[in-house]
Every structure is written in structure tokens, then in C-alpha cells.
Structure 1
């Protein structure tokens, strides 16, 4: 890319910095889904599944722009980074508009590169073709899930049912189930193993998103890399918030309605909303739901015919995904 024009160096630097951080959960689930079918390790399979991290980068860059988030992983979000570059250089025009445009393009670039990496991984074309339907479906699901998330914020839908659907498509299927199925497809796994992966991946992916929702409200910024209560400022209608709306009284609903989605919400406002959530029992309900979903996932895993080392690793990944603090 840098041979096109030296002006692209900041783009390469930004993507390098962005991709060097992160949990790598999606490639990990894809890899162990592949190994769970008894398939051998190779540099080619690692390269192919690294494409999932580029899809994740694209989703996060665009998500931060839509949410107007200031930070990601403890650093300026990509649109903020390029707005800062504009200001520092004293360029013409609107710095924020430039940052927004750059973020859209960098997110698109990551999505293009995800295709390139999958196809240039060194795996035989017929092997890659087996995974293509799941790879395409995953990217469709996360995109429509993101749209439903945006729609829910503007319509003010606070139902637990809607929050669950957003969690399922924006995160649950995309984070765990589809990566497992992509790995299974690359390995040529039988239908029975794919069914086991879905029975494990869907509840675990939902539990992962619910943990993310809890951290978005109660997480430590030094660990999460995002400001405290950011989901509250962004007006996220998560399962946690929907459960609070459902269980709290009129005063609590008025507090939520009046403060949720306020970009200028201060520390006192965040604490008041946290109190509504805790007092309503929504936090406890969400923690119980995480535990139930994780147990369901692990039970499905125990009943499947999975290579033993991969099975043990998938148990460890389930714990890491649902008990994390950041």
C-alpha cells in the first residue's frame, strides 16, 4: 500500500497499531474449530483465520464512528486519531469530517483485506470455497445486527426480546458460532460436529455479549480501554438496560429515559443510572443469564465428538470470554 503514495504511511501506521491490540477471540475460535475436527496445524490455516481479525477491525472502526466513541483499547478511536492528525498538520476544512471519512475508508479497507487474506492464505481454492458461505453469512449477520443496534437506539425500544436479538446477530453469532463453523468448514468437518459447534457457540456468544454489556456500564476504564459508562452515554439498549426498564419502577424508568443517551452525561449521572440498574435487580439477572448460557454452552461441548486438546481449549476460551474484566 505504501508504494502507492507516501501519504498513506499514516494509514498503515494506524492499522498496524489497531491490529496489534485486541483479544483475537474470533481467530482463536476459528482455529480450534478447525483443530477440533482433527485437522492439522499449518501456517496456511493460521493465515486464513487471521482474516477474521480484519473483519473485527472493520466492525470496530465503523462502530466507534457510529457511536462517536473517543477511545478504543485505551487509544484514540480511528476517527479521532485522524481528526487529530488534521489539526496537528493545520490542514484545510473540518478536522472531524476528515476523521470520519478516514475511518469509513480504513474500515472498508480492512474488510477488503479480509477477503484477500482468506483467498491468499495458501489453502487450496476448493478448501477456501467450503468456508465461503459461512464467511459471507458472518459478515452479513454482523452488519444487520449493527443496523438493528442503531435502529434500537433511535426508536427507544427497551424490550428484552429486541436486546436479545441485537446481541445474537451483532455479537453472538459473529464472535463464536460463525468462526467455529468457518474452521469446521475449512477442515471438512461432518454435519454433527457443526451442530455441536452451533449448540456451544450461540449461547456462549450471547454470554460474551452480556459480559460486554456489563463492562460497558460497570467496567474499569484502565482495563476496558473505554471511558466509564460509555454505553450509557451512547444510549445502548442492551439486555442489561432492557432488564432494568422491565423491573424498575416509574421513578427508575424516568431516570433512564431522561439520562440514557446523553453524550454529556457526567460521573454523577452515570452513578445514578448504575444505581437504577443495580436496585432493579438487572445486574444480578444479567449475571445469572451469563452463567446459565455458559453452562448450556459447556454442556453442548461435553456431548460432542471433538478432538480432546481442542475441546479443553474451547472450555478455556469459554471461561475467558465470559469472566473477562476488559
Structure 2
């Protein structure tokens, strides 16, 4: 269990808050530097306004978010590496920022794929650029290129950081592997939408597989792996430990996110309740509901999700079926089991009791307390 000592909890929150105060402005500084045109040549005066809009949008898109990934990487590094030189910790801060810059790049592309107009309560990058240049086609094109520029920027941030840390080559390789895994995950995320609803078991397995590739890879596995490598752990052992802890944690995180989409509130999640249902997403929740539903309810669910769009009544009906079939309870069971698997892996890292407690608390941020 995580520490119940209020002093320990207060110290942990203070450390997290301090790290966030460091991370947030550093991300914007790095993004502005590395999305601007390099000093290899001049940008023509007539083209500068659009280039400046893209850089400004890169900074705007990089603001906000919980920074869970960067905080996990930095917290894990502090726990595992102990006292280090200021330069080495600064390098780790930038490496943690690189993960967040990568996430922004992925979200920019996601919003183009999903045709989403909003992100974190603001216009999505491509939509903001469409409005800025008064052209849908050019705005979407600029959004696509902004995602690419950010994806390149995060590699440069990693390269610079890794050169000042142990396991330099392994750090660069780990970051590039993370990018490839997420890119594969995006392909699989589109593929799962074509999975037949007639085979719930196959749908559940496919959805969980997408979670591993698209979510866990950069949300929990990579932050832990980069922290372990930067702390000086051998590459083979670092990969083993990061997967053991991060894989189940990442799956639990995504399952919890999907569950909160149904049982949470718009105030707490920042998203409308039932958004995944409205979009017709093939989720583990849907698979579990289909698996447990009787013939009539199963036919009802399939009919709802095979339509081009879903109205408020259909969203409410789906949530009702997710509840009555036990799919919500099954999801809670899955999350608790995965969290238990992650905690067991942390316990197997041979850390002292204080380091184990701190790492457990850092990982616990990915799973709501009510679901652990």
C-alpha cells in the first residue's frame, strides 16, 4: 500500500509540484527553439508570418496536460539515481520533457485523424491553423507538418540529453523504439475499429493489444525505461524492469480512462460523458458487455455501434447495458488486477523500503485511488 503518513504525502506532493514547475516552462522553451526554422538559411519575408503562426501554435499545443509521463520519468530517476550532479539532473529534466513533446506531436496527428476540433478545451492545432490562414486544406496541412516538426524536435531534445547521461546509445534507441511502437499503435488503433462485433473475445484481446502499443509504450514503459537507463542500469535489466512495471500499469491507465469516460463527470475528466460511445470506439468495455449480454441486448449493442453516429438516447442505453451486463465491474476487476501486477513488479526491483514506497506512489498517479 502507498504510505498513509500525511507528512510523507505532503512531501511527495511538494516534490511533484516542484518538478512540474520546472518541466512546464522548459517544454515551451524547447518547443519554441526547435520548431523555429534552423539557422541553416533564411526564411523569406513573405513566408515568415505563417512560420511564426506554426511556432506559436506549437507552443500553444504544448501547454497544459497533467504531465504524468514527464513526472514519472523524473520521479523514477530521482528515486533510482539518488544524488547526482546538477548537469545530469538537468539532462534528465530535458529527457522527461522530450516525452511530453512527443505526446503533443502524437495528439496533433490524432486530432487530424479523428477530425477533432478541440483539445484540452482549446481549438486543436490543425483547426486553429485553419482559422488562422482561412483555409481548411492549408490549415490541415500545416497541422500535419506541425506534428512532424514536433516529432523531430523531441528526437533532438533526446539526443542532446542522452549525450550528457549514462547509456547514451541505449537512451537514443529506447526513445526511437518508443516512437515506432506508438506509430504502430496508431495503425492498430485504426485497425481495431474494423474488428467484427460478433467475436467479443477477439475484440477484447485486440483492444488490449492496442493499449500496449499505443498507450503503455510511451505513457509508462518508456518513462521508466529512460529513468532506469539514465540512472545507470544496464540496458537489458532496464528493459526487463520497465516492462514488468510499466506494461500492466499502462494497460490499467487506459482501462481506467475508458471507464471514466462512462462513469466519470465532465467536470473531472474535461470530456463529455460517453464520448467514446458517441464516437463508436471499439473498447474492452464494449467487448465485455457483448460477451455477457443476452441475445436481445447483444443485438441492441451491435445495432447501436454499427450506426454511423450515436445520439444521446443511444449513449444512455449503452451505459445502461455496460452496467447491467457487469462490464463496468469487469473493467474494475481488470484494473485492480493489473495494478496489483505492477505493484508486485515494483516489489521485485530490490529497492529499499523508502525507494519502493516512493516509486509505488509515483506509479499510483496513473490509477485512480477508487480503482486500485
Q: Give the TM-score band, short-chain normalised.
A: 0.7 to 0.9
Is 2:72–2:363's contact at 8 Å kept on the other side of the alignment? Answer: no
In the aligned structure 2, how far is the partner of 1:197 from the partner of 1:308?
Answer: 19
Structure 1 window deviating more from structure 2 (8-17 vs 117-126): it is 117-126
Aligned to 2:298: 253
1:102 aligns with 2:142: yes
SS at match of 1:120: helix
Larger Rg: 2
Is 1:33–1:310's contact at 8 Å kept on the other side of the alignment? Answer: no
Is 1:34–1:186's contact at 8 Å kept on the other side of the alignment? Answer: yes
Structure 1 window deviating more from structure 2 (232-241 vs 258-267): it is 258-267
Number of aligned residue pairs: 318
Is 2:285–2:328's contact at 8 Å kept on the other side of the alignment? Answer: yes
In the aligned structure 2, how far is the partner of 1:125 from the partner of 1:172?
Answer: 24
Q: How large is the RMSD of aligned CA atoms in angstroms?
A: 2.5
Which whole-Å deviations, capped at 9, do the CAs of 1:90-145 have from their partners, x for residues lacking one? x4xxx443332222111111101001111223743874322122111111111111
Deviation at 1:316, TM superposition (A): 1.9
State the TM-score, normalizing by the size of structure 2: 0.78
Q: 1:309 to 1:253 in 2, by over 3 A?
A: same
Which of 341, 346, 361 is the matching residue for 1:301? 346
Structure 1 window deviating more from structure 2 (128-137 vs 105-114): it is 128-137
In the aligned structure 1, how far is the partner of 2:325 from the partner of 2:132?
Answer: 44
Which of 59, 66, 85 is the matching residue for 1:16? 59
Q: Identify unmatched segments of 5+ residues in structure 1.
A: none
Considering Cα pairs closer than 8 Å and 6+ residues apart, tell me whether 1 or 2 has the greater RCO.
Answer: 1
Structure 1 window deviating more from structure 2 (56-65 vs 28-37): it is 28-37
Aligned to 2:332: 287
SS at match of 2:366: helix
Q: 1:216 to 1:113 in 2, by over 3 A?
A: same
Q: 1:290 to 1:8 in 2, by over 3 A?
A: same
Q: Identify unmatched segments of 5+ residues in structure 2.
A: 1-35
In the aligned structure 1, how far is the partner of 2:329 from the partner of 2:295?
Answer: 20
In the aligned structure 2, how far is the partner of 1:136 from the partner of 1:161?
Answer: 26
Deviation at 1:202, TM superposition (A): 1.0
Q: 1:180 to 1:200 in 2, by over 3 A?
A: same
Which of 103, 110, 114 is the matching residue for 1:67? 114
Aligned to 1:240: 285
In the aligned structure 1, how far is the partner of 2:81 from the partner of 2:150?
Answer: 30
Deviation at 1:282, TM superposition (A): 0.6
Aligned to 1:115: 155
Which of 167, 177, 190 is the matching residue for 1:150? 190
Q: 1:84 to 1:251 in 2, by over 3 A?
A: farther
SS at match of 1:22: coil
